Amino acid sequence: MLSEKPTVGGKQYHLMLGPGDVSRYVLLPGDPERVPRIAKTWDRSWHVASHREYVTYTGEYRGVRISATSTGIGGPSTAIAIEELLRVGADTFIRVGTTGVLRADVSIGDLVITQAAVRLDGASRAYIFPEYPASASYEVVLALIEAAESLGARYVVGITASTDSFYVGQGRPGYRDYMPPWSRDLVRILRDSNVINFEMEAATIFTLSNIYGTRAGAICSVIANRETGEFVPDAGVDTMIRVANEAVRILWEWDNAKARAGKRYYYPSIVRR
């Protein structure tokens, strides 16, 4: 029988991480192969652990300690990652992934910075009723915008829909063109409601982060457009990684400014103190 807080040799059961293994700031790609790709952009890095779909690297970027852990695809594995990262000291999470947009005015290679997510996943419902909002931390959203501006990246900010299903859950026909009635108009309804994009993890990350009083945000590179039919699998990924790294540095600066001022929340004039 596993305990209520399972560990193996002092390490978290799924991530195989212990206290001190990660920074408080953690980037969260879905794909395990994206973790070493992210780590190569830092000034120095080292492999910490690999177990199942969870790969973790820690390192330094412009003098700031930073980590990256893969979540796997979808809410269930992502919830495990958040739970166990919290237990070893992380408190600020930025999802870095790829996405498909629902609007023709957002181009392939652009970045989507999520301010809130429609909870079409199941994992977040295991934690709280569906009316509870999946909102990003305003500090993380602002840091991502600041980073994108400083690097000259093209981006939009808005609402994301997070699903547990890549096919029928995102309005795509399943095998043998199976499509439940509630999926047939999903893309149109979301587009009409000013939802920008589909992805599969942000709602879980935001919901858990809000419940536990920590910070989270998400930035995704646009590799598909459901309106135009375009699809370029790796578009914008390198730019997204650069923006996420820089956002961590900015958050670190703001956190230090808050500490010096004795303030709990960031506000623009605090950096001029």
Tokens standing for residue 260: 């010096």
Measured CA to CA, the distance from residue 158 to residue 230 in angstroms comes to 21
Q: Tell me, what amino acid is at 75?
A: G
CA separation for the pair 207, 11 (Å, rounded): 25
Catalytic residues: 14, 84, 172, 226
Sign of CA dihedral 116, 122, 128, 131: positive
Tokens of 246: 């820089």
Q: Angle at Cα 79 formed by Cα 252 and Cα 130, nearest 5°?
A: 105
How many degrees, rounded to 5, is the angle at CA 240 between CA 235 and CA 245? 155
